Each structure stands twice: as structure tokens, then as C-alpha cells.
A and B are shown apart, each in its own frame.
Chain A
Amino acid sequence: MTDRHDAVLRVEGLQTQFLDPKGPVNAVNGVSFEIREGETLGLLGESGSGKSTIGLSLLRLLPAGRSRIAGGRILFGDEDLVQASEERLRRLRGKDIAMIFQESLSALNPVYTVGEQIAEVIRQHERHDRRAALRRAGEILDMVGMPDSARRLGEYPHELSGGMRQRVVIAAALACQPKLLICDEPTTALDVTVQAQILDLIADIQRRTGMAVLFITHDLGVVAEVAHRAVVLYAGRVVEEADTPSLLRQPRMPYTQGLMRSLPEFAVGRRLAAIPGFVPNPRSMPSGCAFHPRCREARADCSQTVPDLTEAENGRRVRCLRWREIAHETERRGHA
């Protein structure tokens, strides 16, 4: 584990519930991780894993009355955001912590120009007159590689392509040089050639500013491309954590192994070794390990005991009763 002092963000035992007439449902069930300065942490999960709920929980942007943080701490520096006042959060959002989402169009206001929207973010957090803020907006658009930035300042969101709009959203997010950028599937709606531009851009800005990045995605390829370290989520829990190269080379948790085998690029022969079944409903979670009904390594005790997230080599963490056995078997097979 790292020294707690260089962690920009430390999440401890986060529990987020969806409130519903039949009672609360745990969408995020005791999730812990941390991100250091200059680091990109990939938060990898399929639908129902709780990855987006974690992102929203961090900034306390959960829909009021429909979900709530039921436990845990979100330490930004020394401050626990779970306890912070609404006023304090308003000041942090967009300034010290920024967030970008998949659908850039909904993040932009259709009736204001690109320049006005970025300038607005700047003026909320910094003392600038309108003209100075607009000038700064132009500089930031240059920084995010917007071609013809001076003209773009006066354009409306609908006049831009998907890739350009995502650049504007990133520009607005970066306007106040945040210490932490939370990205929730920011490239999922984009074409691969544009996605590559945006991923390069985020990495480039990180190199220059040292910001920490939490990158939420369902895409293993994107994790491989951007993340230094990755946390794999399944059914609201962390099931594995490792530095990205180790995770991809030697996944320890059978779920992560199954995801890797599902990748068409690793197909052996003419069929993929798919994971059977589908993600469980949070209302009717399987007993024991939530993954056991789909796991080809499962034994009888996997349906009885909820495995702990245990420390493995090199700061890795794995949630599986059998991970040591499986690792030995994999190694033996590798040598044979």
C-alpha cells in the first residue's frame, strides 16, 4: 500500500444504496481504493457493477431521494466528502474535482456558446471579468487541441461534432486545473479514431498538470491504454486490483480471467470462451461469492462463504477463495 499522504483520493468502505419501496438495495458494497497524484486508476466493470454509482457518489451527485451513501469515507486530502456540506461540495466541484461523462451533449447547454460555457465555469471559481474569462476559455480550447479555437468560442454545441463536443467538455472540466478528474466512459460514444485522440489528450494534460484521473469504463482495451492501475468491480464489490500490466498478463480472479477470454483478440480457435449467464440482480444476490454461479473454478464452499479481498503479491488484491490454487494450476499448465 502506498503512503497515505500522497493519495489525492482515498475511498474507504464506500457503500451506496438505491432506495426503493421494497427497501434499500446495495449498489456499491464496501468499495475501497486510492489514487495518487499523476496516476490514472481504471475502474473496470460491466453493467450492474456499480462503477458509475461510485463516480457519482464521489461528488455526491446521486439522485436525491433515490439513492444515498450508507457508509464509508471519501477522503479528498484530509477532508471526508461524505461529511462535507453542500456549500463546500459546490466549491469543490468543477474546481478541485471535475467530472466528464459519456454523453457530452447533455453536459452542454444548447443556448450558450462554447466560450460562454467555459468562461462560466472559470467565473464560478476564480475572479475574472467576462472578457478575461473568455480569453482564458480560448487558451484552454487551444490546450485541448481544438482546431480554429477562436472561431469555436462563438459556436453553439450543436454546431460541433461528437469529438469536438467532448473536447469542449474536457476544456470546461480542466478550466480550473482540478487535482482530480473523474471520467465516466468519456469515449464510449465516440469512434475509435476520435477516441484515440481524446485518450491521448487526457494523458497529455495529466503529464503536464499532474492531476489524478479516475477512469470509469467497461472496456478492457481502454484500461490497457490509459490506466496505470486498475480495479475490477463485480456486483458492487472490488474483486481484483493490480497494476495494469500485471492484471492483463496474469489476472488472478476467475471473473477477470473470464473477461480476458471473452476478448475476440484472444480467441483460441473458432469460439470464444464466454462467461456463461449474466450479471446478478442486486435484489437477489447469490449467496457466498457473487460470481460463483458463473465461475468455472467454483467449488462447494464458494456458495457458502463471501471471500475477503485479500492481499496478493506486489500490492495486488484478489477476492476469491481459490485464487492461490488457481494461480498454481495456471502456472503449472503454463510450464507444461
Chain B
Amino acid sequence: MNVLTNQCLTASVIPAASRALVEVTDLRKSFAVGRGLFGRPRATLEAVSGVSLQVFPGEIVGLVGESGSGKTTLGRCVLRLVEPTAGTVRFDGVDLMSLTARELRAFRKHMQIIFQDPYDSINERMRIGDLVGEALTIHRLATGEARRGRIIELLEQVGLRAEFADRYPHTLSGGQRQRVGIARALAGGPQFLVADEPVSALDLSVQAQILNLLLDIRDRLNVGMLFISHDLSVVRFIADRVLVMYLGKIVESAPADALYQNAAHPYTQALLSAAPITGEGRPRQRIRLQGDLPSPVNPPTGCVFRTRCPKATSHCAAVEPPLRAIGPHHYAACHYPTASH
């Protein structure tokens, strides 16, 4: 099944000649939960269970899922910010799992993360310029005048004037903060970015500015990006290819337009029909899911989605559906996918 999964997620949307920048194979991450009397874990929770994916240079791969889907854990495991339990991540041919802590630290300049609120993780008492320049110092990329020049270049790259270098974080608006977060991520000259809900905390008018900025950065620097979001309309806009995650697994994968026009997995269909739509004219078939996400400590047998799925049969409880091709570059993990190609 692993072999099948890997083939499935090889994005042939991208010319076959180019090589994947990031290649994730059968990644797993479990956490021990609820420790008992002698510190023995009572149960394990598999947040990511056997995910394979690829990101090509200059490609934006959208990762969509609701809370508890494992999308954030997956994003961090791909960068080894969280240590995966099993599986491999190859970055430009380098096996990330084989790197020592020290090697990994040096390697970080190639791959960075953009957080929802960059201010959760930074020192409020540092000036913007020093925050942006931190990576330059850590990786010994520039000092003195060169460092100052590079900081200003980075600020300009994210649409902030040079004078911001001397300001403090609390004087910035939400959108400006996220620009600083992006400038920090770009400082080491990365080839790959994980953007974890980068616009979720922003007002609509500012969200649009930041989405445009991320597209500009991709075009200018040809970085690959894993764009994690719960917002389907944002992902449709920005991503070239979209992965839909549910309870630790990828349940559907397709080029963005194909996914939104011909969703094959009942979960993707339910997600699309639940998202409020502002536009008119699209006749909407409402699919209302009952209940909440099942506990990942005790996931359903067979298909993970079957407990909320309107199409589920006894077969779905018995056999887990593999991710398989249902159209050009379009894969779904469902025994009864909607055929539309």
C-alpha cells in the first residue's frame, strides 16, 4: 500500500523532468496521552498516520483540514520542528532524519516556517531589524553594513519601508507583523516554506495583501511552499495542488481547480458545501455532517471518515480505502468516490 500511496502523490502536474524539492514518505507522528500512575501513557494518539507528499520548486501545495486533522503537526514534522515517529523526509535529496541536531540547525536556513501569529515566538523587546536579522547572525550570513543592507532588502521584499528596522513590534498592525514574520522566514534564503495559517488572524482587507505578497515571493524566489489552512477559498486561490486531511490522513489530493470543481471524497464535498459562499448562482447542494471529529485516540476502523459519512457502508468499517487515482492527478481515499472526470 505504501508503494501505491507514493505513486499517487507524485505530482505529475509538474513537468516530469523536475525533481521534488521535498519528498515525504509514510510520515507518522504519535503522542502519548493521559499518563497513568507510574508515568506510563494510557493511550497513544496518532496525529499523523502515514502521509506521503511532495512539493516541487516554485509549487504551492495547499493542506486543508479542520482542527484535529493533524495538519499543523504534519507541517512541523516535515521541517523536523517536531520529531516524527516514523517515515522519511527528503529535502533536495538530503534525508532530514539522518541529520544530527547541529547539522539540522545549519540546514534550517533552507527551510522555514511562517506562523499564524509570528509574535507568539519572538521577543517583544527586540527591534524589527534585529528580529529580521536574527537568522543572518545565527547562520553567519552577514555582519555589519552588509547585515544592515540585507535587513533593509528583506523588509522591502515584504513591503515594509527601511525605517521599520528601528521600530518595536508593539507599534505594528497585524498585517505588518505578519510581514515581519515573513521577512524573518526569508532571511536565510530558504527554498522551502511551511506557512501555517498565515492569514487566519488577519482582517479580510489585509489578508488579501498578504496572499498577494506570498505569491510575489513564490514568483520571485521560486520557493516551494506547504500552505496550511482551514479556509478553502484561501487555499483554492493560492495553491497549485491541494491535499485534504482528515484525522491524520490525506483523503483527497488534486490540482486546485479539479478539487473544487470535482471533489470526489464525501468529506471534501461536505467541507466545500459547509463553507459560506458569498457569490450567487452556484446551486448549492447542502451536505451537513453530523457530529464532531472522532477522537484520534480511538479512531474508527476502516475508513476514518465513515462515522460521519453519508455514503458509509459495512465495507467502509471493515476495509480502509487506499488513496487511489480517480482522474488525472486526482486521488481519493474512498470506496465510493464521486466519478466526474
Which residues of A come within 8 Å of B, CB atoms?
Answer: 46-47, 147, 161-164, 191-197, 199-200, 218-222, 224-225, 245, 248-249, 258-267, 270-276, 278-279, 294
Contacts and interface: CB of A to CB of B under 8 A. Distances in A.
B276 interface: yes
Contacts of B215: 270-271
Contacts of A47: 174, 203
Contacts of B233: 221, 263-265
B203 A192 contact: no
Given A192-B232, A222-B276, 7 more contacts: A191-B67, A193-B274, A196-B273, A218-B203, A270-B215, A278-B173, A278-B205
A271 B216 CA distance: 9
A199 B275 CA distance: 11
A224 to B, nearest CB: 5
Interface in B282-296: 286, 288-289, 291-293
19 contacts: A46-B205, A47-B174, A164-B292, A191-B67, A192-B276, A197-B288, A197-B289, A262-B205, A262-B207, A264-B208, A264-B236, A272-B208, A272-B211, A272-B212, A272-B237, A273-B208, A274-B206, A278-B175, A278-B176
A324 to B, nearest CB: 24
A193 B274 CA distance: 5
A263 B280 contact: no
Contacts of B278: 220-221, 224, 248, 260, 263, 265-266
Nearest to B213: A274
A194 B275 contact: no
Contacts of A267: 237
Nearest to B204: A262
A259 B208 CA distance: 9
Contacts of B39: none
B270 interface: yes
Contacts of A259: 204-205
B180 to A, nearest CB: 14
A185 to B, nearest CB: 13
Contacts of B174: 47, 278
A200 B288 contact: yes
Contacts of B237: 264-265, 267, 272
B15 interface: no
B236 A265 contact: yes
Interface of B: 66-67, 173-176, 203-209, 211-212, 215, 230, 232-234, 236-238, 270-271, 273-280, 286, 288-289, 291-293
B205 A196 contact: no
The majority secondary structure among interface residues of chain B is helix
A274 B236 CA distance: 17
A271 B288 CA distance: 32
Contacts of A245: 280
Nearest to B236: A264
A294 B173 CA distance: 15
Interface of chain A: mostly helix, strand, loop or mixed: helix
Contacts of A222: 276
A-B pairs, top 8 by smallest CB distance, nearest first, are A221-B276, A264-B237, A274-B208, A262-B208, A191-B66, A196-B274, A46-B203, A275-B205
A218 B199 CA distance: 14
A193 B276 contact: no
Given A264-B234, A265-B236, A265-B278, A274 B67 contact: no
A192 B66 contact: yes
A264 B205 contact: no
A282 to B, nearest CB: 13
Contacts of A200: 288
Contacts of A220: 204, 278
Given A161-B292, A193-B270, A264-B234, A274 B66 contact: no
A265 B230 CA distance: 15
B204 A263 contact: yes
Nearest to B292: A161
A224 B277 contact: yes
- Specify which of A200, A218, A262 lies most central, judged by the most chain B CB atoms within 10 Å of its CB: A262
B279 A271 contact: no
Contact of A266 (B67, B230, B273, B279): B279
Given A221-B278, A224-B277, A265-B236, A278 B206 contact: yes
Contacts of B207: 262
A183 to B, nearest CB: 14
A195 B35 CA distance: 33
Contact of B271 (A193, A271, A275): A193
A281 B309 CA distance: 47
A195 B230 CA distance: 12
Contact of B274 (A195, A249, A264): A195
Contacts of A262: 204-205, 207-208
B288 A196 contact: yes
A192 B204 contact: no
B308 to A, nearest CB: 8
Contacts of A191: 66-67, 230, 293
Contacts of A266: 278-279
B311 to A, nearest CB: 16
Given A193-B66, A194-B292, A46 B204 contact: yes
Nearest to B68: A191
